[in-house]
Copies of this chain bind each other. A is one copy, B any other.
Amino acid sequence: MQGTITVDQIRDWVAARDRACIVEGFERAHPGTVAEAVADLEPDEILTALSFVRIPVRAEIFGHLDDRLQVEIARRMPRDDLAPLIAELPPDERVDLLKRMPDEEREAILPAIAQAEREDIRRLAAYPEGTAGAAMTSEYARISPDLTASEAIHTLRREAPNKETIYYAYVVDRARRLLGFVSLKDLILALPETRVELLMHRDVISVRVDETQEEAAQKIQKYDFIALPVVDANDVLVGIITYDDALDILNEEFTEDIEKLMAITGGHEGGVYLRSSVWEHFRHRSGWVLALALLGLVSGFIVHRFEGLLLQFSILATFMPMLVDTGGNTGSQSATLVVRALALREVVPRDAARILFKELQISLLLGALLAGIAFGRVYLFGDSGLPPGVPLAMVGVAVATALAIQVVFSTLIGACLPLFAAKLRIDPAVVASPALTTIVDITGLMIFFTTAKLILGL
């Protein structure tokens, strides 16, 4: 039932230069399906296959390729083919592609693009990466409040081929200030002669051009919009962001968040794990690993400082790895929950007191549980590595207390760091879990040795 097309079919067609099969196959299947299939071909094969189909179909398929492959194909395409393809892409995708191309190639292609589109590209390209302005498209339907419903439908029908969506039409005044919007559903349900002014929703939810694309995507999710209008500081409508962009933005942001939590740096687009070179992976991953290893050497100095204690009570060395890991785990849990709650706007930095109080209670429970287990372990099996005259129960109390303090402490650090980052308007996810782990390792060892010394009265 579904219009399937396989990479092997396409490869055969390309090898045989079978124009008819390519044209039929590519036009029949969804451009997303074709893009997925051709992605496994060599760039030159893709180029050949695309050259056979009409430019609108070509642009649709091209638009579904991942960003990196788009650049690769675009750079190999003859300039006479590339200019019309770029002109056919939706404005937001067009700008993304040009931004990713090397400077000299971009400059070479721009003069071949029509004046109006060139200006649109310049305007959209001016917004910083990651803002609503950079994510929006300029192809939206705009109508005047004086139209009747049937005139509005007529306008939408006429403009449909050039608009990203005609399901929402934005109502603007002469200065292009946003007054409201009507959905195509509203227009269809209305009496034909009703004026748009009376139909339109006036309390429009919009996003400012300099807000983040993530904020825009969250508004779309929260209000179930098909499109969200983007306005400038004077409330002038400058573009829209559609629901499909919101899906892509959320996916991209999530990948970024999770990679930050795992201490991987660099910009991240979908579809690139296998296509990124070993060297690129190394660059994105080595920075934090290196920094954390250097920081990890600090734990070494702490262990070194307490060498005497360890030689005397070698049983303490046995608990070091468990103590260090447990602190890292509980800290990562609270950090993750707070990062996620901040990302979903469930909490804001000024909820800090409520969050910390909650985490304090949770960590006291966790600490008590783990302390009980650690005490049991020492008391039942820990009968070696002790100097004579020290009661085993005492050592058990020392280890248990140290572990409980470590759990409470690292849970609170884990919750504090992202709140603090958010307060400073840094992305809370940069308080990466590995960074946190290394920090609580260091504090944990200090807590461990100090508590042991105090309780054992050394």
Contacts and interface: CB of A to CB of B under 8 A. Distances in A.
Interface string A319-357: 111101110111011001110110010110001001100
Interface string A13-51: 000000000000000111011001000000000000000
A326 B328 CA distance: 13
Interface string A147-175: 00000010011001000001100000000
A4 to B, nearest CB: 9
Interface in A68-126: none
A322 B307 CA distance: 16
A255 B340 contact: yes
A274 B355 contact: yes
A251 to B, nearest CB: 7
A139 interface: no
Nearest to A221: B247
B300 A321 contact: yes
Contacts of A198: none
Q: Which of A153, A340, A341 has the most CB of B within 10 A?
A: A340
A220 B248 CA distance: 11
A261 to B, nearest CB: 7
Interface in A197-225: 202-206, 220-224
Q: How large is the interface on A (under 10, 10 to 19, 20 to 34, 35 or more residues)?
A: 35 or more
Contacts of A286: 365-366, 369
Interface string A172-209: 00000010000011001100000000000011111000
A396 to B, nearest CB: 14
Contacts of A319: 300
Nearest to A202: B3
A438 B202 CA distance: 56
Label chain A's interface by main secondary structure. Answer: helix
Contacts of A294: 373
A192 to B, nearest CB: 12
A317 B326 contact: no
A1 interface: yes
A337 to B, nearest CB: 6
Contacts of A365: 278-279, 282, 286
A299 B282 contact: no
B248 A289 contact: no
Given A226-B243, A243-B226, A264-B337, A318 B289 contact: no
Nearest to A358: B278
A266 to B, nearest CB: 11
Q: Which of A224, A278, A279 has the most CB of B within 10 A?
A: A224
Nearest to A281: B362
Given A1-B235, A258-B340, A303 B321 contact: yes
A391 interface: no
Contacts of A314: 304, 307, 310-311
A424 interface: no
Contacts of A270: 344, 346
A444 to B, nearest CB: 9
A415 B66 CA distance: 23
B264 A2 contact: no
Q: Which of A289, A365, A384 has the most CB of B within 10 A?
A: A289
Contact of A434 (B157, B321, B328, B338): B328
Contacts of A347: 273-274
B273 A299 contact: no
Given A247-B247, A441-B325, A332 B296 contact: no
B333 A285 contact: yes
Contacts of A307: 314, 317, 385
Contact of A167 (B184, B370, B373): B184
Given A255-B340, A286-B365, A289-B333, 8 more contacts: A30-B203, A36-B222, A166-B185, A243-B244, A285-B330, A300-B318, A325-B438, A328-B437
22 contacts: A156-B188, A184-B185, A243-B243, A255-B340, A258-B340, A259-B337, A262-B332, A262-B336, A263-B329, A270-B346, A273-B338, A273-B340, A281-B358, A286-B365, A293-B325, A293-B373, A297-B377, A310-B310, A325-B441, A329-B437, A332-B433, A433-B433
